[in-house]
Amino acid sequence: MATQKKIHNLHYNAGFLSGQDKTELLTWLKTLHPIWEFRFSKNNPPPPEDEQRRLLRPVYWLGNWQFACLDYFHPPKGIDFRCVKAEVFPPVLQKLVNKMEESARRMYHGADMPTKWHLNTCLVNFYGDEMIDGKKIDNARVGDHQDFEPGPVASLSLGERAFFQFVHGKEKDLQKKVVHEQWLTDGSMLIFGGKKWKEETFHRVQRVEDKGVFQFPLSFDNFFTRRINFTFRYVPIEHILPLNKFPAPFIEDVLPYVKELAPFSRHFAKILDDLNQK
């Protein structure tokens, strides 16, 4: 398998993460307390054709937290009160982000590279199996979707290999044409941007291998992590706000998550204190 693969506006590097950086990253990951989120909330109930559900995997956000029940950041209309100011990247992650940004700036220009672009938000996804009624359920996948944050997207993978695809076709089409597919290996980086990969196609994680090689010692009730992915994107800074600047119904919907995060995070503990003083 080639260590690096370059296609127009898409770059894959299997050997991106060094041993030392990986050790530091794994040490930092042990300090995290990811949470389970529900897709909807009291003030954002499910539409008639849908129902309340939990996300398939625990998550953690850095830079800004886009709670699922706030509908994520989705320009041009979905930009207000979506992005809650969150913790900064730890030093090892910031060092890796700097390298990703250097690569992206060599690849993308003009309309594909917003003027103030930098990777200031990160979604950490934990892929694995959930135990339900004594049965192991494989939840290690992500359905077809697009990332709406402007500019290139960077992805860093740890753990078991993930089968990643770009596909043509509308979200509900049963028959979709695979445009490109790639196994994402442990320590690899993927960068994609431009109209083809951001607007004309959807991407998805079809499956994650279960060879028993990787199991991360992260503490979840009845959940076993075998892959961790960091997805880095750009959100214009004017759209990232402290939670106390959000409307009351939005605060009400995410307050349980903030309370869950606060015992393990100085940042979210301060958010809670600020809210209690309002």
Q: Give me the pLDDT at residue 1, please.
A: 45
Residues contacting 43, CB < 8 A, separation 6+: 249, 250, 252, 253
CA gap 96, 51 in Å, rounded: 39
Dig out the tokens for 29 from the structure.
Answer: 């990951």
List, in sequence order, every residue forming a beta bridge with 35; answer none if it has no partner.
Answer: 59
The domains located in the chain, with CATH, are: 4-245 (2.60.120.590)
- List, run by run, the mean pLDDT of 10-residue segments along the chain (278 residues): 75 95 94 95 94 94 98 93 97 97 96 96 96 90 94 97 90 75 96 96 95 79 92 97 96 97 96 87
* pTM given for the model: 0.94
Nearest by Cα to 120 from 70, 81, 157, 85: 85
Instruction: Please state the three-class secondary structure of the chain as a single string.
Output: CCCEEEECCEEEECCCCCHHHHHHHHHHHCCCCCECCECCCCCCCCCCCCCCCECCCCEEEECEECCHHHCCCECCCECCCCEEECCCCCHHHHHHHHHHHHHHHHHCCHHHCCCCCCCCEEEEEEEEEEEECCEEEECCCEEEECCCCCCCEEEEEEECCEEEEEEECCCCCCCCEEEEEEEECCCCEEEECHHHHHCCCEEEEEEECCCCCCCCCCCCCCEEEEEEEEEEECCCHHHEECHHHCCHHHHHHHHHHHHHHHHHCHHHHHHHHHHHCC
Residue 170 has what pLDDT?
A: 63
| pLDDT for residue 52 | 96
